Structure 1
Amino acid sequence: MIRSMTAFADGEINLDNLTILCELRSVNHRYSDVSVKLPERLRFVESDVRHLIAGKLKRGKIECTLSYKKQPGSQSLTIHTETLEKLLTATAEIEKRMNNPQGFSALDVLMFPGVQQEAETDKEQLQKKITHLLNDTLNKMLDTRAREGAQLASLLMDRCEKIAQLVQLANSRMPEVLNNLRTKLISRVNELVAEPNFDRLEQELVLIAQKLDVTEELDRLQTHIAEVLRALNQPEPIGRRLDFLMQEMNREANTLGSKSADREMTQISIDLKVLIEQMREQIQNIE
């Protein structure tokens, strides 16, 4: 089963007076690149989050965002009295030294960092909840990747079938190409030479046939097609392997074009390269 690298998944879970939210986004990337965004209160789980993501998503640029919000009705404030006392003492001392001190409101005091104190949440319980949430969200993302991967596999198999048809057409076309070339050369020699040396002519035709022979290229294309179809059924990530196979197939198609001796073989080479490029673009998104 192949998986796409493009997917999105989200989820949330409740703990005490908090709702914890998780969002996962992934796009294609040559390697595995995991970035984690989370508030300071959840910073202690970053290492576990990275490890969990890397264990399930082998390739792609993955962005994980963890956040939390207080549930409605739980917006009570707790004042950190020690910080408040220190702040008021410092403020009074500063005002003594000012010529024209300006007053401030209680809201101004509440805005000062550390004055408001959030209720402590058990970190062990919080870590378990986040792990459970992340696992659920990762499973959703894997399902999305698998669904899109199945569609990509269908497209690739369709292209492989068309490439195989073109290879078969080229194989059947080559004897006719060589025969046409032989007839054309003999006719041309007869026009130019009164008594041609047909033995020498046959030797030259053999050399030309060897230069135009594309049997090896067509055989390798068939082998690469079989390998692509085999790889599509593998459980492990195959994106890089398929990308390499596309490079090899494109090289064979280019060689086929350079050895082309007539218009139809040139067109087959062009059609092959178009199909291979279409496959390569899709493979860029496979894990």
Structure 2
Amino acid sequence: MRSMTGFGRGTYSDEHVSVTIEMRAVNQRFLELNIRMPHAYLALEDKLRKGIKETLHRGKVDVYVTVGELTPAAPQIRIDYAALSACKAALDDVNQSLFGGEKTTLPLIMGLTKDWFVQEPPAVDAEEVWPVFAQALQGALDGMVAMRDKEGANIRRDLLARTDRMAAMIDAIEAKKEDVVARYKERLEKKILALFDAARQVPDQDRLLQEVATYADKVDFTEEVVRFRSHVVQLKGFLEQDGDVGRKLDFLIQEMNREVNTIGSKANDTDVTEYVLQLKNEIEKIREQVQNIE
């Protein structure tokens, strides 16, 4: 089980380039990748994305790629002869008309404009340097996974402890069931007898007991307790898994919360309500932790 937060950094170089890749991850329902890298190497972005997706499956991940040229190639120089000729012709015309035919030289043109002179970055063969990127990426992913695993282990210990506390609470709630049902029957029987007494009628005792028993079933929360215990077993099972369990846990916590709410509404008992509130508090804390699980 892994956390979704983490940091990883990898650096690798050969005789031509040095590549450093840093990645930071925070909680996110799905995987979101934001990659910032030099424009000259954008052709490798898809490969970086594919490599990251093979290892990370959830979280918002910011990736920063830095490339250092160890043996810089010469820039490409391009002369726009048409623009240079136009500049010279224009200056020749001005010199001839106003300055007695002074000679137009290259330094003179360069002092006025360099739009005809184009210096472009050297061509980069991105595929040729991919092995360096791949090594740096692996180092960053290894660091990220190690941090996520460590944080995931801490979360697992916390959730297992909370799961044990919830199991103890549901046992305490179940121990109250017979008293809750008995008190409900007693209250219901008293109300019915009071109504008959007010109407000066004598109730049929067998029918009275049957009706009281039927309505008392409505406060019996045995099924909810059984299902909650089953969810606790599932929760522990998920926590012991190494795969991506975040979404499964999120759904399971919703189901546990639903069972607890039903128990509280059925029991309508102060002692049970106290345990229900404690259970809901533990479930909420687990829900918060689950949001950070991959």
TM-score of the two chains, using structure 1 as the length reference: 0.83
Q: 2:74 aligns with which of 72, 78, 81?
A: 78
Select which of 233, 257, 265 maps to 1:258.
265
2:11 aligned with 1:12, yes or no?
Answer: yes
CA distance in 1, matches of 2:269, 2:153: 39
The partner residue of 2:119 within 115, 119, 136 is: 115
Residues in 2 aligned to 1:175 and 1:105: alpha-carbon distance in whole angstroms: 100
Q: Is the 8 A contact 2:87 2:109 kept in 1?
A: no
| 1:186 shift after superposition | 4.3
Counterpart of 2:279, as a letter, is: L
Task: Go from structure 1 to structure 2 and tell me whether the alpha carbon gap of 1:129 and 1:230 turns closer, same or farther (over 3 Å shift).
Answer: same
Do the aligned partners of 1:26 and 1:60 also contact (CA within 8 Å) in 2? yes
After the TM superposition, which residues 17-96 of structure 1 pair with which residues of structure 2 at under 5 Å, given as runs?
18-70=17-69, 78-81=74-77, 83=78, 85-86=79-80, 90-91=83-84, 93-94=86-87, 96=89
Residues 179, 122 of structure 1: alpha-carbon distance in 2 compared, 3 angstrom cutoff: closer
Show CA shifts across 1:173-232 (max 9, x none): 011112222333445556663755433332222112211111101100000110010111
Aligned 1:1-287 pairs, distance under 5 A? 2-16=1-15, 18-70=17-69, 78-81=74-77, 83=78, 85-86=79-80, 90-91=83-84, 93-94=86-87, 96-97=89-90, 115=119, 117-118=121-122, 123-124=127-128, 126-187=129-190, 193=197, 197-287=204-294
Which protein is bigger by CA-based radius of gyration? 2
3-state SS of paired residue (2:65):
strand
Check whether the contact 2:220–2:267 (CA below 8 A) recurs between aligned residues: no
Evaluate the alpha carbon distance shift between residue 238 and residue 70 of structure 1 in structure 2; reply closer, same or farther with a 3 A threshold.
same
Following the alignment from structure 2 to structure 1, what is the Cα–Cα distance between the partners of residues 111 and 127?
A: 35
Question: Structure 1 270/79 Cα, relative in aligned 2: closer, same or farther at 3 Å?
Answer: closer
How big is the shift at 1:233? 1.4
TM-score by length of 2: 0.81
Q: Does the Cα contact within 8 Å between 1:78 and 1:116 map onto a contact in 2?
A: no
Structure 2 contact 6–24 (Cα < 8 Å) conserved? yes
- Whether the 8 Å CA contact 2:11–2:139 is kept in 1: the answer is no
Match in the other structure for 2:99? none
Output the amino acid matched with 1:151: N
| Deviations 1:29-67 (CA, angstroms, capped at 9, x unpaired) | 222233332212212222221111111112222232212
Tell whether the 8 Å contact from 1:77 to 1:116 is kept in structure 2 after alignment: no
Structure 1 residues 112, 230: CA separation in 2 closer, same or farther (over 3 Å shift)? farther
Where does the alignment leave 5 or more consecutive residues of structure 2 unmatched?
95-107
Write the distance in 2 (CA, Å) between the matches of 1:113 and 1:198. 110
C-alpha RMSD of the superposition: 3.1
Aligned partners of 1:95 and 1:263: how far apart in 2?
Answer: 98
Distance 1:139 1:270, change over 3 A: same
Change (3 A) 1:221 1:78: same
Shift of 1:282: 1.2
SS in structure 1 at match of 2:217: helix
Identity %: 29
Q: What are the ranges of 5 or more consecutive residues in structure 1 without an aligned counterpart?
A: none
Q: Aligned partner of 1:142: which letter? A: V
Give the Cα–Cα distance (whole angstroms) in 1 for the partners of residues 65 and 211 of structure 2: 73
Shift of 1:146: 0.5
**Partner SS for 2:242:** coil
* TM-aligned CA distance change 1:7 to 1:122, over 3 Å: closer
**Contact 1:22/1:137, CA 8 A, preserved across alignment:** yes
